[in-house]
């Protein structure tokens, strides 16, 4: 059975040739500055790459199973942002399984706490998770400067 070892959001994941991961800038809050009167539409995004990175401990026998990893991002009102990222987990005997979900932008349509939800299914049955953590979004309005 898989066990969660790491599940976090970070700005960048650097992988060596043999897949050793370094996580750069783990975060749980995003602060954006927007023009004073600009309306931020509900579906707006800030193009900024980030990642949801997970590692799972395995045990003998897991390499024979078909696991699927899911990652979902929810707005503060719990509606879903973008589609659920779904990927097959490739497991090798006596090795940890790691998944790097790269996200090309951060949603900015609602201020508050976004939820990142990760889980693993085997035969459409959840076997790990859901693991959840929050990322807070704060919007600061740029202050008018006197001429």
Partner 1 sequence: MRYRCPVCMYSQLPYPPHDYHICPCCSTEFGNDDANFSYKQLREMWIAGGANWFFGRAPEGWNPWMQLLKAGLSAYVPRLVLDLRVQSNVIVKPGGIIYSGPEFIVRPAA
For partner 1, the binding residues (CB under 8 A) are 11, 25-35, 38, 40, 43-48, 79-84, 104-108, 142
Q: Closer CB to partner 1, residue 19 or residue 33?
A: 33
- Shortest approach of partner 1 to residue 6 CB, angstroms? 15
Q: Pairing relation of β-strands 80-89 and 112-122?
A: unpaired
Identify which of residues 65 and 117 has a Cβ nearer to partner 1 in the complex. 117
The encoded tokens of residue 98 equal: 């790691």
Smallest gap from Cβ 122 to partner 1, in A, equals 23
Please state, in angstroms and rounded to a whole number, the distance separating the CA atoms of residues 56 and 139: 34
β 106-107/67-74 pair status: unpaired
* Closest distance of CB 81 from partner 1, Å: 6
Phi then psi for 91, rounded to 5 degrees? -115, 130
Coil vs helix vs strand at 142? coil
Q: How far is the CB of 84 from partner 1 (least distance, A)?
A: 7
Pick 35 or 61: Cβ nearer partner 1: 35
């Amino acid at each position: 059975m898989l066990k969660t070892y790491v599940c976090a959001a970070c700005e960048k994941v650097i992988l060596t040739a043999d897949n050793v991961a370094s996580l750069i800038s783990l975060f749980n809050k995003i602060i954006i500055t927007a023009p004073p009167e600009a309306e931020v539409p509900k579906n707006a995004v800030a193009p900024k790459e980030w990642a949801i990175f997970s590692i799972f401990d395995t045990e003998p026998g897991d390499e024979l199973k078909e696991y699927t990893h899911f990652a979902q991002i929810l707005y503060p009102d719990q509606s879903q942002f973008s589609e659920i990222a779904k990927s097959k987990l490739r497991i090798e005997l006596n090795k940890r399984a790691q998944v790097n979900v790269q996200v090309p932008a951060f949603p900015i349509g609602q201020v508050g706490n976004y939820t990142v939800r990760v889980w693993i299914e085997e035969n459409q049955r959840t076997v790990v998770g859901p693991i959840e953590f929050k990322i807070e979004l704060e919007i600061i309005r740029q202050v008018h400067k006197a001429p």
